[in-house]
Amino acid sequence: GAGVSQSPSNKVTEKGKDVELRCDPISGHTALYWYRQSLGQGLEFLIYFQGNSAPDKSGLPSDRFSAERTGGSVSTLTIQRTQQEDSAVYLCASSLSSAVGQETQYFGPGTRLLVL
Amino acid sequence: QKEVEQNSGPLSVPEGAIASLNCTYSDRGSQSFFWYRQYSGKSPELIMSIYSNGDKEDGRFTAQLNKASQYVSLLIRDSQPSDSATYLCTSWGGSYIPTFGRGTSLIVHP
């Protein structure tokens, strides 16, 4: 079946502009995660959704970052007034989430964001 | 602060050798552990999961878990150049958010 998809695959924007990143999880996966990975760095957790609810937003770096999920499926991550330090690869992952911590996360290909 | 520590490497091994990747974690409540492989410019993909103390084998890969020592390892037998990648160790401590290590870079040279 289809895996996790993300769009756009690449995004170049100017400092101060808003960007919207999209994630389509695997059908039937109720848990969805957003991560950020800077060049040569590990994965930085941003936000987690269970269904349409976000029980944990603790990883969002600032109030310029927000995310939503609708219909228990597609999620969008919005970055307002982008800064150069926002440049990174933004990864989305989904899992069945039938049991806490027991589920494999399936990652999308990522969106490479470059803020000029 | 939950942490997963990995040697960043690079770990360089000759083709055909055994590659040993190690990981330690700080949260004694961690219950499950995953190893992901990430090729340069690509997203992580699952290699192995392990939940109980001991060894778990899958083809050329063996995951080892020692909860008393808070230690997880991944052995790759008969290493191939195609195994060259960054390997991420992940632990789950009973919450919905995993803790990722920063990864170990493996280079398998012909």
**pLDDT for the residue B31:** 87
Mean pLDDT computed over B29-39: 93
Q: What percent of chain B has pLDDT over 90?
A: 81
A59-108 pLDDT tens trace? 899 999 999 999 889 999 999 999 999 999 999 999 987 556 667 889 99
**3-state percent breakdown (helix, strand, coil) of chain B, nearest 5:** 5, 55, 45
**pLDDT for the residue A82:** 98
A6-34 pLDDT tens trace? 999 999 999 999 999 999 999 989 999 99
**pLDDT for the residue A84:** 96
**pLDDT for the residue A100:** 60
**pLDDT for the residue B90:** 93
- CA B32-B37-B41 angle, to 5 degrees, is 135
B55-106 pLDDT tens trace? 999 999 999 999 999 999 999 999 999 999 999 999 987 777 888 999 999 9
Are A43 and B96 an interchain contact pair (Cβ–Cβ within 8 Å)? no
**pLDDT for the residue A55:** 81
Mean pLDDT computed over B27-48: 92
Strands B4-6 and B19-25 come out as antiparallel
Beta bridge mates, A94: A32, A106
Are B96 and A97 an interchain contact pair (Cβ–Cβ within 8 Å)? yes
Higher pLDDT, B95 or A3: A3
Are B102 and A42 an interchain contact pair (Cβ–Cβ within 8 Å)? yes
- Residues of B within an 8 Å Cβ radius of A: 31-32, 34, 42-46, 49, 51, 88, 92-98, 100-103
**pLDDT for the residue A40:** 76
pLDDT interval class at A56 (50, 70, 90): confident
> Across the interface, which of A56, A91, A104 has its CB nearest the CB of B97?
A56
Q: B102 to each of A24, B24, B55, B77, how far by Cα in Å?
A: 26, 12, 23, 23
Tokens of A4: 């996790």
Report the mean per-residue pLDDT for chain B: 93
Checking if the pLDDT of A35 tops 90, the result is: yes
> Across the interface, which of B43, B95, B102 has its CB nearest the CB of A100?
B95
